[in-house]
Amino acid sequence: MSIPELEELANVCRKHIVKMIHKAGAGHPGGSLSAIDIIAGLYGTRLRFNVDDPDWDDRDRFVMSKGHASPAVYSILREMGFLNDEDLATFRALGSVCQGHVDMKWTNGVDFSAGSLGMGLSFGLGCALAARMDSSKRETWVMVGDGEVQEGQIWEALMAADFHEVSGLKLIVDRNRIQNDDFVSVQMEVGDVASKIGAFGWNIKEINGHDMEEIVEALEWASMSSGPSAIIAHTVKGKGVSFMEDNPSFHGKAPNDEELALALEELS
């Protein structure tokens, strides 16, 4: 896909995100909107998958460790053909394939069951090691939030990936600087994430997580790098919807009717 096509894909996904959260009356718009440009770039350019065979052994894996950003995942799966509009309309409903947190038992195209934060990178490391044991070139892409980087298990996985020299493991940090209750700097600042992860032996690239050209270039860089590689994507929580941008209150709050109308107008 071209850069304009990827940008349009991300915009369409943003509309899905705000609409499904509004209908459910609950969900996490802020971190979904901050992550969707990178996810659109990944699915539109690099990730190998088969809609007709979701369990294809040699598919690449995408692990959404910050699983509450499930609307971002469901929106891209809708555009890739795994889900449809009726599925999105049942987001967070009992028995829906679109659960509040991504769950591989419920949803085709989902490769990780999320819940407690901090586990996705360890899971992704296991996927990457399994690929090496299978002599497969499949890649594992893991997305974490910067609030999630406060979890100790993240750093254990970083250390283990370097020790095992796992080239097939790619990390994306959604550095939107807001977590559940407030700004990361208020809750517990994680500091220079790039330097810290680099100190654990990882290849590092920092980008503007909303510049599609930078995103595509960084994804290619990570895919071609030897050893574990991390993209630190500087993003804006709630990107694309003015009243949600850099607003901690929209970490986990649904827009009301008037807010939905305004959001869709801004995204049109």
User: pLDDT tens digit string along 86-135?
Assistant: 999 999 999 999 999 999 999 999 999 998 899 999 999 999 999 999 99
C-alpha distances in Å from residue 138, one per residue of 124, 216, 232, 233? 12, 18, 22, 23
Number of domains in the chain: 1
The CATH number of the domain holding residue 12 is: 3.40.50.970
CA-based end-to-end distance of the chain: 21
pTM of the model: 0.97
Range(s) of the domain holding residue 137 = 3-267
Amino acid code (one letter) for 139 = E
DSSP string of 94-155? TT-SS-SS--TTT-TT------STT-HHHHHHHHHHHHHHTT----EEEEEETTGGGSHHHH
The most distant pair of C-alpha atoms in the chain lies apart, rounded to whole Å, by 53
pLDDT digits (tens, 9 = 90+) for 193-247: 999 999 999 999 999 999 999 999 999 999 999 999 999 999 999 999 999 999 9
pLDDT of residue 71: 98
Tokens of 174: 């959604």
